[in-house]
Structure 1
C-alpha cells in the first residue's frame, strides 16, 4: 500500500507515515491490529493519537466488528492445511498444520522437535496437490539447530512421485534419479528458507518483527511466506529469566512475543510452528512427569499442542494434547535419515 494512503488517517502526517512504514505498518490492516502502546512507541506519538489512528484504520479496513458464523466459516475456508506426509498424523490433525494458528511441539531432548521443523520447512514448499502450501519458510534458530544438510536429506527422501511433481511445478528438467536435477531441486528448496540465528530473547523478538517485514514483502509474490518456525521458542527466555522474581517479566515478554507471531499468521495466512522445552514435575507420582515450560501463557496462546515422546529405536509417539476442534489422539512416526516417515 502506498505511504500516501496512511496520511488519510487522523493524526498521520508525512513524517508519521514514514515512521509507520519504516516499522512495518504499511497497511490499514497492520495498524488496525496493533495496540496503542506499541504504535505510540514505534511512531513516537501520544497514546491518544495512536488510539485514534488505530480506530480509524479499523473502520477503513473493516476490522473489529461482529460478523455472522457463516462469514467466519467462509473465511476459514481460506485456511491452508500443511501435510506431515504421515497419514496417521494428518488424520489426527484434521488434515495437517493449519495456517493462521500456532502449533506448539514439545518434548524432551532428542524427541525429534527440530526434525519436525526441518521437515515442515520442506513440506510447506510442496505443491498443494502434494500436501504442501507452495510457500516459503522463515526459520528463527535460537539453539543452533538448523542444518541445510538435513534439508538436503529430506528433499531427497521424499517419495518419487512427490519429487517429480515438485520438479514439474518448479520447471526443473529431470527425474528423481537424475543427480543434476536433484541438486538443482535441493538448492531451490534451500533458497526458499530464510534463516536467522537468535542470540538472546530480545534479538529473537526483533527477528519476529523482521519476519513480519519479509512476509509483507513476499505476500503478492510467487513464493509467499506460509510458515514461520521458531526452534526453540523458550530456550533464551528460560536461560535469561531465572527464579520466581523474574517470572512475571518473562511471561509478559513471552506473551507479547507469541502475539507478534500470531499477528503474522493472521495477516499473511501463515502457519506458525514453535518448539518448546520441557521440565520434569517432581510432584507427579502417576503418569508422565514431563511438562512443557512457558506456563498458562503458552498453553492458552498455542492453538495446537503436540507432545513428542521417544519410543524404541527411531520410533516416536506423537500426541495431540490440545486443539480447539479436535479430539486428543496419538500417532506414530519414525525419524529416519531421509526424514519423518510413517510407521
Structure 2
C-alpha cells in the first residue's frame, strides 16, 4: 500500500481523488476507470492514467506484478491476465466514452472551430499547411495559449510544448495573444461569477519552448517527448513549427528521408494516442506541377507524408482573405472557413458590409469535393488531385455561437 501522493499523478487529479476518499493504492485497487472517473469527477483518460500509475508502480517490488496491465482490466476494474505488454484489444464503447470526454482545443475563430467539430481534437495529429505569411505560427501560438483555458470555460485545461524549427516564435507576440485571452476570461469570469485562475505569467510559464537547429535535433527531441510529457504533467498540446523545415534541404537520399519521416510520424501518432494530447504540425507548401496552365501548391514532404496526420487543413489566400480548408478528416466532411489574424490573435473575420438596400451574402456553404479535370498532369494520383483542388477552391463555413462568447 502506497499513498497516491507518491505516484506520478498531476496535483489537480490527486486533489479530486482525495476529496472523493481515494488516498492510497489500496483504495483504488478494485476500481475500474469508468467507476473511478464518475466517483472522483475526473475524465476517463485521467482515470486510466491513475490506474496505470497505481497498478504499474503502486505495487511492492516483491509482488511479482508486471508494470504493464491490460486496458481491459483498467477499464472494467476486474482482474485480467497480465503480461509484459498491454493488450491491443479495446471495446468500441470504451473508445466512444473516451472520445466524448476529450475537450478539443479552440482556435478562437468560431468558424474554424465549427469546421473542425469544436476545435483541434485531442488524441490525434493535425496538420496545418500554407504559404509563408498565411498565419501558421500565429495559429500555433494561439493554440498554445488556448489549450490552457480551464475546463469550466470550455477549454482543455492543459499545458503546451512548442517546438520551433525556424526561429519564428516571437515571445512578444505570445504576450499579446495571452493577454487577450486572459482579458477575455476576466470578462467572462466577472459575468459568470467563476474565477479562472490564469494570468499572463502563468500562461507563458505553461508553454515549454524548444528551439531545434537540425533534423537530428528534431528527431532526438521527438524521441524524448514521452518522457518530457510525463515529467511536465498535464500536457495537452505539442506544436511543431514547422515539421518540414529541416527535411527539405538536408537529405540527398530521398529514400532515407522517407524512412526517417515515417518513423517520426509513427512516434507522434503514438504520443498523441497514449498521452491523450493534440499534436499540431505546421507544414510548408511547395510547387508540385502544372494544371490547366497554372502551377499549383501542395504540402511539402511528398505524398507519403500525407498519411502522417489524421486531420489536414490547408491555409491559403482567397481574394485577400485568409481561408482554412479542411481536406482530410475521418469524422467531418470537407469544408472551409474564413479567419483573421488580429492584434489579439486568431479571430473570426469581420462580416462584409453589404451594399445599401441589399442583404448580406456571406454563405452558409460547405465546400463540395470537385471532380478532377482532364487537364491534370499525366499520372497524378487521386490524392494529388484532391490536394490540388484543396489549394485552389474555398467557400464560407456555417457559423455557430463560439463556446467562449
TM-score by length of 2: 0.63
Q: SS at 1:289's partner residue?
A: strand
Per the TM alignment, residue 56 of structure 1 is displaced from its structure 2 partner at its CA by 3.3
Give the aligned partner of residue 301 of structure 1: 308
Distance 1:6 1:217 in 2: 26
Aligned position for 2:84: 57
Pick closer, same or farther for the CA change 1:115–1:161 going to 2, 3 Å. Answer: closer
> What do the CA deviations read for 1:211-233 (whole angstroms, capped 9, x no partner)?
221211233xxxx0000000001
**Equivalent residue number for residue 329 of structure 2:** 323
Regions of 4+ moved over 4 Å = 3-10, 164-170
Say if 1:126 and 1:166, in contact at 8 Å, map to a contact too.
Answer: no
Matches within 5 A, 1:118-267: 118-158=141-181, 160-164=183-187, 169=195, 171=197, 185-219=199-233, 224-242=234-252, 246-267=253-274
Q: Identify, as 1 or 2, the structure richer in helix.
A: 1
RCO comparison, higher one (Cα < 8 Å, 6+): 1
Q: Which residue of 2 aligns with 1:28?
A: 68
Q: Distance in 2 between matches of 1:88 and 1:129?
A: 22
* Range 275-284 or range 105-114, more displaced: 275-284
Distance (Å, rounded) in 1 between the aligned partners of 2:270 and 2:63: 23
In structure 2, distance between residues paired with 1:339 and 1:288: 31
CA contact (8 A) 1:127 1:134 kept: yes
Partner-residue secondary structure (3-state), 1:153: helix
Shift of 1:159: 7.7
Query: Which of residues 311, 317, 335 is equivalent to 1:310?
Result: 317
> Is residue 146–residue 181 contact of structure 2 (8 Å, CA) maintained in 1?
no
Change in CA separation of 1:77 and 1:338 when aligned onto 2, cut-off 3 Å: same
Whole-angstrom CA distance in 1 between matches of 2:229 and 2:111: 31
Q: Number of residues paired by the alignment?
A: 279
CA contact (8 A) 2:186 2:196 kept: no
SS in 1 for 2:291: coil
Change (3 A) 1:204 1:7: farther
Equivalent position of 2:99 in the other structure: 76
Contact 2:150 2:196 in 1 (8 A): no
Query: 1:104 matched to which residue of 2?
Result: 127
Equivalent of 2:342 in 324, 336, 341: 336
Query: Counterparts of 1:274 and 1:166 in 2: how far apart (Å)?
Result: 32
* 1:140–1:230 contact (8 Å) kept in structure 2: yes
Higher Rg? 2
Residues 70 and 170 of structure 1: CA distance in aligned 2, closer, same or farther (over 3 Å): closer
1:81 to partner: Cα distance: 0.9
Q: Is the 8 A contact 1:88 1:331 kept in 2?
A: yes
- Distance in 2, matches of 1:85 and 1:155, equals 12
Tell whether the 8 Å contact from 2:128 to 2:313 is kept in structure 1 after alignment.
Answer: yes
C-alpha RMSD of the superposition:
2.7
Aligned residue runs from structure 1 range 12-27, under 5 A: none
